[in-house]
Amino acid sequence: MKNITTAFLMVLCAFVASAQEYNTDDSKIALNGYSPVSYLDLELAQRGSKEFVSEVNGVKYFFTSVEQKKTFDANPSKYQPQYGGWCATGVAIGAKFRVDPTKFIVNDGKYYLFLNSVEVDAKQVWNEKGHNNMVKNANENWKKLKSK
């Protein structure tokens, strides 16, 4: 794990994000505009539309339809990405990295997003190290990282 972790950190230094809980830019649009309902309910990465938007804690979420928006609005916490939408593997090793919104997994009613670069496929690293082990590490690290 040490070699993979070291390589991961070295390759991705340029992707380290600023101190914020949610993975957004100045637009405050979550998930790069992808629908959280599509991730969790359909296990698909689908771009939402500006026509169907909800806001939670100052962060905007886009949806593919009014039905998806209603589903989200009925239970927003269910549809929040794990670790504020930061790369789950990054959080597991103690860092925040931006994600490729098409790289994700759904497990046990939650979805996890991952960075993908030419050097490192963070989703593959997560799967190789084992979901339960990585979640344990990420949950511990997230307590410290979410407000940094």
pLDDT digits (tens, 9 = 90+) for 52-98: 999 999 999 999 999 999 999 999 999 999 999 999 999 999 999 99
Distance, in Å, from the CA atom of 34 to the CA atom of 44, rounded to the nearest integer, reads 10
The residue range of the domain holding 40 is: 24-80
pLDDT digits (tens, 9 = 90+) for 21-35: 999 988 999 999 999
Classify strands 49-56 and 100-107 as parallel, antiparallel or unpaired.
unpaired
Contacts of 138 (CB under 8 A, 6+ apart): 82, 83, 88, 91, 92
Structure tokens at 37: 């309902």
pLDDT surpassing 60 at residue 4 = no
Judgement on whether residues 48 and 63 belong to the same structural domain of the protein? yes
Domains of the chain: total: 2
pTM greater than 0.75 (yes/no):
yes
Judgement on whether residues 90 and 139 belong to the same structural domain of the protein? yes
Judgement on whether residues 85 and 145 belong to the same structural domain of the protein? yes
Judgement on whether residues 62 and 32 belong to the same structural domain of the protein? yes
Q: Minimal CA–CA distance to 87: which of 55, 111, 65?
A: 111
pLDDT surpassing 90 at residue 14 = no
Quote the pLDDT of residue 39: 98
Distance, in Å, from the CA atom of 113 to the CA atom of 105, rounded to the nearest integer, reads 7
Judgement on whether residues 90 and 57 belong to the same structural domain of the protein? no
